[in-house]
Amino acid sequence: MKRRIAVLAVLTATAVAGCSARRSEPIAGPLPTLSPELARGEAAFDQNCSRCHPGGEKGLAPAINNKPLPGFLIKFQVRHGLGAMPAFSKQELPPEELDDLVRYLKELRHHR
């Protein structure tokens, strides 16, 4: 079962890896962080993701603010890595922070 999930995650991530449209502050304006969860998610993103995905856009890695991945696949990719993306352990990114990060990414994705 775990192997099937892993294969599904890799196939899904590979299928959407080419999507790298630019959607960031200059176009959409700043993302309002209304809740403490989103603020923590933004902080987790800034600390762990922004070097390769600046503002969710394409940088050293593909854009992630336009990926239609469900939350469980985002978590899987963060925990296990994919390609050049490193895996983030529970010590590096605790489960609560990962939950907030996923909420933030979903909000960033829907921000217009």
Q: What is the pLDDT of residues 22-61, one digit of tens each?
A: 444 444 556 666 799 999 999 999 999 988 888 777 888 8
Walk me through the domains of the chain, giving residue ranges and CATH numbers. 2-110 (1.10.760.10)
Residues 64-102: tens digit of each pLDDT: 877 788 999 999 999 999 888 899 999 999 999 999 999
User: Do residues 88 and 111 lie in contact, with contact meaning Cβ atoms separated by under 8 Å?
Assistant: no
- State the pLDDT at residue 83: 86
Distance separating alpha carbons of residues 60 and 66, to the nearest angstrom = 16
User: Do residues 62 and 19 lie in contact, with contact meaning Cβ atoms separated by under 8 Å?
Assistant: yes
- State the pLDDT at residue 36: 93
Residues 7-18: tens digit of each pLDDT: 555 555 554 444
